[in-house]
Amino acid sequence: MLRSKGVNIKDITKIYVTPNGKEFKAVDNVSIEIKAGEFVTLLGPSGCGKTTTLRMIAGFEVSNEGEIYIGGDMVNNDTPDKRDTAMVFQSYALFPHLNIFDNISYGLKLKKMSKDDIKLKAKEIIDLVGLAGMESRYPNQLSGGQQQRVALARALVMEPGVLLFDEPLSNLDAKLRVQMRSEIRNIQQKVGITAIYVTHDQSEAMSLSDRIIIMNKGIIEQVGTPKEIYYSPATEFVADFIGEANFIGGEIVEVNGGKAKVSVLDKFINTKYSGKKVAGDVCKIVLRPESIIIGDDGNFEGKVISSTFMGAYQDYRIKIKENIISCQDFNPIVKKVYNIGDRITIDFNEENVHII
């Protein structure tokens, strides 16, 4: 049904002028290559440039520098309606005076398609997004999740080469967000459309994406699969933004054959390493809370300063020397539970240690 297109962004920059006349680079020399049929998420905190980047792809913002290609064609000078993209907005932007069928088919009517073709295409999309039987309802008669499906259907029915999402789930409650992100991913994979999704929610990015692009202060910090971003963060910012992380200072003792020996907390650990640091360099290691092994016979001894039952896991804060280490011990009902003030030891496998 859809013919997806790749997107290639080359060195785009967007500069705004502040009220006091100073220039502000919202997006600073960013390059991105997205394959046809790929689901890519732009992720980062407020003000990082992700929405501005999406709006430049859509044509709602004009870049000061750089080039944007969709399906191999440069679109810098094309208006939004000429770019073969469709946007799903945060606010849904549904017409309140039109029923669901008319909202979804609105764009097809503007293209002056025949009534029979409109009916056929609209029905196909309505079935795809699970709105069959609701065609005659109006937006105010729908739940938030149903309104989001209408917005998605209205974009899909135009058969765009690229589907753009601007934080589409931010108005939904937490449980519905989880349900809708699963539905969006399933629909995207079913139709094979290229999707570019903007969010500040790392859980959404992890569950939806083939690749994640982490942005910060107008630049790209890292591009990778969810697994690469989580387990091999390129910077401290990425490690801290995606999930929870412990950062522990250390020193490189030896680098040899893709491995490194590191001095951490007055002990030596070995881990995989392919970076540029050499023996004698200071470093930081990243440890995810769930990867830490706790007990009574580990290598690093500390004191429990916080112990909180979280249902699926017991959450600990452990002080070792001057470091506060966050640990998550899953399925605590079958484990020994440590209390505040208890002595405890931790350990970790070398596969769980990442050097930045």
Is residue 2 over pLDDT 80?
no
Residues of the chain with CATH 2.40.50.140: 245-355
Is residue 1 over pLDDT 80?
no
Q: How far apart are the C-alpha atoms of 256 and 273, rounded to whole Å?
A: 9
Per-residue pLDDT, averaged over 250-254, amounts to 93
Q: How far apart are the C-alpha atoms of 226 and 224, rounded to whole Å?
A: 6
Predicted pLDDT of residue 341:
97
Is residue 229 over pLDDT 70?
yes
Q: How far apart are the C-alpha atoms of 54 and 157, rounded to whole Å?
A: 21
* Structure-block tokens of residue 27: 């997006």
The pLDDT confidence band at residue 231, using thresholds 50, 70 and 90, is very high
Burial of 52 (0-12, 13-18, 19+ CB in 10 A): buried
Identify the CATH assignment for 245-355 out of 2.40.50.140, 1.20.20.10, 3.40.50.150, 2.60.40.1890: 2.40.50.140
- Residues in the chain, how many? 356
Residues of the chain with CATH 3.40.50.300: 7-237
Q: How far apart are the C-alpha atoms of 99 and 178, rounded to whole Å?
A: 27
DSSP secondary structure letters along 239-289: HHHSS--EEEEEEEEEEETTEEEEEETTEEEEEE--SS--TT-EEEEEE-G
Q: How far apart are the C-alpha atoms of 64 and 29, rounded to whole Å?
A: 10
Is residue 124 over pLDDT 80?
yes
Q: How far apart are the C-alpha atoms of 50 and 207, rounded to whole Å?
A: 18
Q: Collapse the DSSP code of 86 into the 3-class scheme (helix H, G, I; strand E, B; otherwise coil) and give the result.
A: strand
The pLDDT confidence band at residue 210, using thresholds 50, 70 and 90, is very high
Q: How far apart are the C-alpha atoms of 299 and 321, rounded to whole Å?
A: 13
Segment among 109-118, 198-207, 309-318, 327-336 with least mean pLDDT: 109-118
- Separation of first and last alpha carbons in the chain: 45
Rounded to two decimals, what is the model's pTM? 0.90
Comparing 224 with 176, the larger pLDDT belongs to 224
Predicted pLDDT of residue 163:
95
| % of the chain exceeding 90 in pLDDT | 76
Partners of 194 in the β-ladder: 162
Burial of 343 (0-12, 13-18, 19+ CB in 10 A): exposed
Of 194, 192, 197, which is closest to residue 213 (Cα–Cα)?
Answer: 197
Per-residue pLDDT, averaged over 12-41, amounts to 94
Average pLDDT for the chain: 93
Is residue 52 over pLDDT 90?
yes
Q: Are 192 and 2 in contact (CB under 8 A)?
A: yes
Provide Rg for the chain, Cα atoms: 25
**At 354, which helix (H) or strand (E)?**
strand 354-355
* Structure-block tokens of residue 5: 């297109």
pLDDT digits (tens, 9 = 90+) for 63-73: 999 999 999 99
The pLDDT confidence band at residue 349, using thresholds 50, 70 and 90, is confident
Per-residue pLDDT, averaged over 86-103, amounts to 90
pLDDT digits (tens, 9 = 90+) for 32-48: 999 999 999 999 999 99
* Structure-block tokens of residue 55: 């709006």
Per-residue pLDDT, averaged over 90-111, amounts to 90
For domain 7-237, give the fold.
Answer: Rossmann fold (3.40.50)
